[in-house]
Amino acid sequence: MILGYIAYFVACLIVGIYGSDRRFGFLGSFVGSILITPLIVFFVLLITKKTDTGT
């Protein structure tokens, strides 16, 4: 049971890291993946554009 929670948390962290250069940022992606599911938020991140950092 605890291993499932750890796996879910790690998946949320991975989605948060992937979303760090998107509009929502790390925190928005991480919290969104906790509240919804990491898989759905990941698909949303795939269709959103990266933010322009100006470099």
So what's the pLDDT on residue 5? 96
Low-confidence ranges of the chain (pLDDT < 50): none
Q: Please give the single-letter amino acid code of residue 53.
A: T
Please tell me the predicted confidence (pLDDT) of residue 55: 57
pLDDT at 24: 87
Could you tell me the pTM of the whole model? 0.85
What are the sequence ranges of the domains in the chain?
2-47
